[in-house]
Amino acid sequence: MAPSGVVFTPIGLMRQRVSVVKLVPASDGMGGNAGMATTDLCDVWCSIVPVSAAEKLAAAAVNEERSHTVSMRYRDGIDATCRVNYTRGGVTRQFRITGVVNLAERNRELQLSCIEVMAEAMT
């Protein structure tokens, strides 16, 4: 039973298959830094929901950036250095994670606050 006030996402609403990748420093082969590269963490089913206007206003009040909420079953190692990639119909959308909440600290579900990265910024 969930703690009072906590609502876990029903598994049937997790219909989007995504890849979670982690940003890691890339070496230039000579001991220097060549920017950032990605390494795959996991492929999971999740729910991707755009936030409402009211939620955007509430997030802005606490200085939080968020355009979407991604809900998934708990996975260790997912943090703000990760990205969520969602591909559908040959088009990939990328979401930058700005916050991670382990609902009720039960290691059952993660809710990720995300900002969708526009295609121009992904290259």
Q: Report if residue 6 sits inside a domain.
A: no
Q: Report if residue 79 sits inside a domain.
A: yes
**Token code pair at residue 104:** 């009720």
Q: Report if residue 89 sits inside a domain.
A: yes
Check residue 106 and give its pLDDT: 93
Check residue 25 and give its pLDDT: 84
Check residue 85 and give its pLDDT: 97
Check residue 36 and give its pLDDT: 81
Q: Report if residue 37 sits inside a domain.
A: yes
**Cα(117)–Cα(30) distance, integer angstroms:** 31
Q: Report if residue 42 sits inside a domain.
A: yes
- Domain tally for the chain? 1
Token match 């009072």: residue?
Answer: 4
Per-residue pLDDT of the chain (123 residues; tens, 9 = 90+): 556 678 899 999 999 999 999 988 887 777 777 778 889 999 999 999 998 766 666 656 655 567 899 999 999 999 999 999 999 999 999 999 999 999 999 999 999 999 999 754 554
In terms of residue numbers, what domain contains 104?
A: 12-122
Check residue 4 and give its pLDDT: 65
Burial pattern 34-67, b for ≥16 Cβ within 10 A else e, equals eeeeeeebeebebbbeebeeebeeebeeeeeebb
Check residue 123 and give its pLDDT: 47
Q: Which of 55, 49, 47, 66 is nearest to 9 (CA)?
A: 47
Token match 């930058």: residue?
Answer: 96
CATH classification at residue 98: 2.40.10.270
CA within 13 Å, CB half, 40: 5
Rg of the chain (C-alpha set): 16
Q: Report if residue 103 sits inside a domain.
A: yes
Check residue 64 and give its pLDDT: 59
Q: Report if residue 54 sits inside a domain.
A: yes
Q: Report if residue 72 sits inside a domain.
A: yes
